[in-house]
Structure formats: structure tokens, C-alpha cells
Amino acid sequence: MNSYSRHGKLVRNRIPQIIRDGGTEPVFYTAGRGEYRSRLRDKLGEEVAEFLAADDDVAPEELADVLEVVRALAADLGVGEDQLEKIRAAKTAERGDFSDRIVWTGNR
């Protein structure tokens, strides 16, 4: 029994069919709205941890997984990709981005 057998794990839409194609019958259910949001937050943590542990060869794939979860979370909050981009751009205009690699160490 794996660690998800009792509690479940949020997976991508095609995973049940991929499991069937592999010759096994998956057991799954559709989460309600509140559970879905909670599981998306958990999934974000899982995907970020996988990204942080990945070497440079695998990191782009893991980062894409993080982005997929971020998009799902935004959609669940009623925020479309265009609106999310506008929010990101406004924050960048106000506070900048990370391209200058500035590390703050405190104040004097």
C-alpha cells in the first residue's frame, strides 16, 4: 500500500486512463470544491519540493508542473491567465523583478 492509498492524491485528468492503459483499474473520485482547493495547495507544495530537488536537466519539467498547479489555483479563484499576468506585471512595475539577482541582507 503506497502513502496515497488511504488519503488520495490529486492527479492530472488523464492519469486514470493512463493507469487503465497500463492494465490496472484505478480507484478515484472527484473532489468537491473545498477539497479541490485544499488539494491544489498541497499539490503546489509537492511540485515545488520536486522542483527544488531536481537537477538542472529535470528542473524545467518540474517547473512546468508548478506552473500547471498555479494556473489551476488561479482558475479556482476565478482569476484567468490574462488577469494573473496583469497582476504579475503590475507588481513588477511597482517592485521590479528578480533579474538583477539582488540579495538583501538587512538595513543599517
**First CA to last CA distance, the chain:** 55
**Domain positions in the chain:** 32-90
Residue ranges of alpha helices (H) inside the chain are: 15-21, 33-53, 59-76, 81-95
Structure pTM? 0.85
Question: Cβ–Cβ contacts within 10 Å for residue 60, how many?
Answer: 10
Q: What is the pLDDT along the chain (108 residues), one digit of tens a residue?
A: 444 445 899 999 999 999 999 999 999 999 999 999 999 999 999 999 999 999 999 999 999 999 999 999 999 999 999 999 999 999 999 999 999 999 999 999
Q: Which three cell numbers stand for residue 92?
A: 513588477
